[in-house]
Chains A and B, each alone.
Chain A
């Protein structure tokens, strides 16, 4: 049965139409149409009457900020959420997916941002999981492996079916995800922020793979917030903002600036306002530091660097090149195998975390749920997480609640942490406000060094701007700031100097104001500074 309900266009967007009901060849992708998809969560409308149309052979980019509703929309399409309103049509036929299995059966495949791979299993096992080939009662591994090899060759993916996923690079794991979708017969592929974890080179390779898939008749929905990639690869662009379609754009005519404005809803300051830095004495000095990672690999391998009072040193690098281990060593959370860490002239190599706290090292951790906050405890308690034992918050062993409370009330106001009361558990705060609470705590205690790891990850634009201002304010107050970020734009707009880390070594240190994204991108991929300059 073919549904011919009139499309409900409201003029905000300019979807192409015509030929909506033509039947495609079995091996090409179905035409997908979303009409008026609405999804509400308590307190928020994640998707508000979203329309979208994707044709076979095309790469359709879904652009939007964190919180714009992209992933919710795709989870609805993949059957993980049920829409509260609206319709999904495949080749004009309305469908409902009550789970991924049904979406898979209709040849829809998803490559999740956080890979859905089981690390100890092999590639072939991961690929066939849920759709196992069998010979009698036993698994038919050979057949699965052969199939993975065939797909790998057909789409130029170069994946070894017998390798264990845990041994593969991030880029390779992503290709396994793509094979997994193809193995299930997916003709419509959803890629959720696929380049977030890749080096610029790996990202370019992925874009080429996407074009190749489209050329062979697949349809691709490419979810991203990276403007450059959208313009490089997409046939169509739909921009989401605040759960609605903010507009559509043609990549031939759109510019980064016009897309950014659509995404944010106002002209975007691509650069944060800040005056020149006035670097003073070195606050943090690191000599030849080597640190082992979780798998006993040498994650940090001979890092030497210094950060001065009144400067922001940006640490750029693709995730997994030793940034986390470096930060953990610099805060006493991870053992240094070799080398020296000096803070304000004091040797803190392998000192306990508390010594770092007491020597004035403030730390905004990358994982705020794991390290930054105790979600079950009150916001007020979280504000004194590392200073609870010091006056005025304690007298001897006794805690002084009036001081804890006053501190909380003051910080909630000063840092605009939106909460009815600091007596509530920190878990009751929204993500942006949780991060503000962490920033408030770390900037409110006497410290000469601030280590900010991914300080704006997953936050909305408003919170990002606020935190950027705080980082610059900290610098202007004379703090030394180490900014670790996967967002190159953030590094470029805030840093006075930029160190590039690659495979646990500092590949180069460049001047912040004059550095370019291209130059850093090449360095992040492991090129030597000479090559990067040339």
Chain B
């Protein structure tokens, strides 16, 4: 039983990585007052272009940079649409998502009609000396790819930035009461642009996880809703960095349950009492795959009302006169 749990947690941390980055991406955007349902599209585009840069240059560092820049470019589009043109932020996010799906699908098929090139490498896995030898926890916590560690560092950095720096204070003020910030001499537009684009960079790292860390390949639609679940993690985490971390781990564990069971050879749930089998049901793995999605819905239905979003989120700001 313990090793089942261990093997589940070992995969949970990597699985949480895109959710953490996605959630933090949404965090900066939404704390500044811009709704971001485009995390999915940003991650997908970043996964693709990061991969392309890797293929073309053979340099994983550049590939990572490519992913981050892609996230920022997509986020800039979202920022321009929703801040400058005051497009409904959900529609703007939808545009980004559709564009990312179309563009990556088109280019993928156009560039690699016969499938992705092989021979790619992924970012290194690092075993932290000594710590990785700790029984049980060592393998769970200290034998991962660099992007996985980066996600946890990012949570801490995000918390410090948001609560301890000037920029973080301004982001929080702009997202709650933009007019108050403006009258204090802060440019609401500048803060929002910066926040959304910084969020794009984080989504870019989340996207990089898919093609530069998890597997050395791009597949159309490979983000498979992680961006939306990340958004749910943001809400569940009450728009705070550590809340995002907790919620992301929660969803990641849910996500890894079916594959873990399968790998562990658990194929059916049975109840035996005194030698008599009361029931013995085969586990429909596909149905278990729904767990993160269903949990997301349940969390939203239960958490909203308790969780208070930034007051000005979703409202375009118009500067006076």
Contacts of A82 in B (CB 8 A): 321
Assess the B164–A138 pair: CB atoms within 8 A.
Answer: yes
Q: What 0/1 readout, one digit per residue, does chain A (110-138) give for beta carbons within 8 Å of chain B?
A: 10100111111100011011111010011
Q: Does B179 contact A (CB under 8 A)?
A: yes
List which A144-195 residues lie within 8 A (CB) of chain B.
180
Q: Does A415 contact B (CB under 8 A)?
A: no
Q: Does A342 contact B (CB under 8 A)?
A: no
Q: Does A107 contact B (CB under 8 A)?
A: no
Q: How far is the CA of A117 from the CA of B169 in the complex (A)?
A: 13
Assess the A125–B169 pair: CB atoms within 8 A.
Answer: yes
- Contact flag A139-B183 (CB < 8 Å), given A80-B321, A81-B321: no
Assess the B165–A138 pair: CB atoms within 8 A.
Answer: yes
Nearest-neighbour CB distance to chain A for B315, whole angstroms, equals 14
Nearest-neighbour CB distance to chain B for A112, whole angstroms, equals 7
- Interface of B, secondary structure class, is helix
Q: How far is the CA of A115 from the CA of B182 in the complex (A)?
A: 13
Assess the B182–A100 pair: CB atoms within 8 A.
Answer: yes
Nearest-neighbour CB distance to chain B for A354, whole angstroms, equals 24
Q: Does B176 contact A (CB under 8 A)?
A: yes
Assess the A75–B320 pair: CB atoms within 8 A.
Answer: yes
Interface size classification for chain A: 20 to 34
Assess the B179–A116 pair: CB atoms within 8 A.
Answer: yes
Contacts of A110 in B (CB 8 A): 183
Assess the B185–A131 pair: CB atoms within 8 A.
Answer: yes
Assess the B166–A117 pair: CB atoms within 8 A.
Answer: no
Assess the A80–B177 pair: CB atoms within 8 A.
Answer: no
Assess the B184–A129 pair: CB atoms within 8 A.
Answer: yes
Q: What 0/1 readout, one digit per residue, does chain B (171-210) give for beta carbons within 8 Å of chain A?
A: 0110011011111111000000000000000000000000
Assess the A119–B177 pair: CB atoms within 8 A.
Answer: yes
- Contact flag A118-B320 (CB < 8 Å), given A125-B169, A132-B169, A137-B165: no
Q: Does A247 contact B (CB under 8 A)?
A: no
Residue in B164, B173, B320 whose beta carbon sits within 8 Å of that of A80 in the complex = B320
Assess the A139–B173 pair: CB atoms within 8 A.
Answer: no
Contacts of B160 in A (CB 8 A): 138
Assess the B165–A139 pair: CB atoms within 8 A.
Answer: yes
- Contact flag A139-B164 (CB < 8 Å), given A100-B183, A100-B185, A129-B181: yes
Q: Which residue, of B165, B169, B176, B182, has the highest number of chain A Cβ atoms within 10 A?
A: B169
Q: Does A373 contact B (CB under 8 A)?
A: no
- Contact flag A81-B169 (CB < 8 Å), given A112-B183, A117-B180, A129-B181: no
Contacts of A129 in B (CB 8 A): 169-170, 173, 180-181, 184, 186
Interface size counted on chain B using CB atoms at 8 A: 21
Contacts of A78 in B (CB 8 A): 183
Q: How far is the CA of A138 from the CA of B164 in the complex (A)?
A: 6
- Contact flag A139-B177 (CB < 8 Å), given A110-B183, A116-B184, A129-B186: no
Residue in A116, A131, A137 whose beta carbon sits within 8 Å of that of B183 in the complex = A116
Q: How far is the CA of A116 from the CA of B186 in the complex (A)?
A: 12
Q: Does A213 contact B (CB under 8 A)?
A: no
Q: How far is the CA of A383 from the CA of B160 in the complex (A)?
A: 53
Contacts of A263 in B (CB 8 A): none
- Contact flag A121-B172 (CB < 8 Å), given A75-B320, A81-B320, A134-B166: yes
List which B140-159 residues lie within 8 A (CB) of chain A.
none
Contacts of A300 in B (CB 8 A): none
Contacts of A112 in B (CB 8 A): 183
- Contact flag A130-B172 (CB < 8 Å), given A139-B164, A139-B165, A139-B166: no
Assess the B166–A132 pair: CB atoms within 8 A.
Answer: yes
Q: What 0/1 readout, one digit per residue, does chain A (11-37) give for beta carbons within 8 Å of chain B?
A: 000000000000000000000000000
Closest B-chain residue to A80, C-beta based? B320
Question: CB within 8 Å of B: which residues of A?
Answer: 75, 78, 80-82, 99-101, 104, 110, 112, 115-121, 125-126, 128-132, 134, 137-139, 180
Shortest Cβ-Cβ A-B pairs, 10 listed = A130-B184, A101-B185, A116-B180, A130-B185, A132-B166, A116-B183, A81-B321, A118-B177, A129-B184, A118-B176
Question: CB within 8 Å of A: which residues of B?
Answer: 160, 164-166, 169-170, 172-173, 176-177, 179-186, 311, 320-321
Known: A116-B179, A138-B165. 9 other contacts (CB 8 A): A81-B321, A101-B185, A116-B177, A120-B172, A130-B170, A134-B166, A138-B160, A138-B164, A139-B164
11 inter-chain pairs at a CB distance below 8 angstroms, sorted by A residue, are A99-B185, A100-B182, A100-B184, A115-B180, A116-B179, A116-B184, A118-B181, A119-B176, A130-B184, A130-B186, A180-B184
